[in-house]
Amino acid sequence: MSAMPSVPATPGPSPGELAPLIRVLLVEDDPGDAFLVGELFDEAHAPVSVEVVADLSSALDRLDTVDCVLLDLGVPDASGLDALRRLLSYAGTRVAV
C-alpha cells in the first residue's frame, strides 16, 4: 500500500514577521464612526492599514492606492445606493467594495 503524498500547507507569516497589509479606504464623514472602525480592526489584529476620507469624491481619487473600500451610504456628496453605484462604476473589479 503506497502512502498518500502530503500536501504542504500554505505557510503563514513566521513569528516576528508581519503579514501583508490590506489597504482599506474608509469613506466616512463621522470621526467617531471612523474611530470605531479602526478600533475593530485593531481588536481583531487585522493586518490592515486604514485611510479615512470624508466624501466620495476624495475616495474616487484614491482608488488606485487601495485594496478595499468601506463606504458609508450617507456622506456629504453621495447617499444610498446611488453612492454605491457611483463607487462601483469607478472601481470596476480592481477594488473590493
pLDDT mean values, one per 10 residues, the chain (97 residues): 46 58 97 97 95 98 96 96 96 93
Looking at residue 4, its pLDDT comes to: 45
* Domain residue ranges of the chain, discontinuous segments joined by +: 40-97
Could you give the maximum distance between any two Cα atoms of the chain, in Å? Answer: 68
C-alpha–C-alpha distance, residues 49 and 94, integer Å: 18
Backbone angles phi, psi at 47, to 5 degrees: -80, 70
C-alpha cell at 71: 463606504
The pTM assigned to this predicted structure is 0.80
Residue 20: the pLDDT is 76
- Helix-strand-coil percent breakdown of the chain, rounded to 5? 35, 20, 45
Q: Are 53 and 59 within 8 A, CB to CB?
A: yes
Say how far residue 63 (Cα) sits from the centre of its chain: 11
Question: Cα separation of 22 and 50, whole Å?
Answer: 8
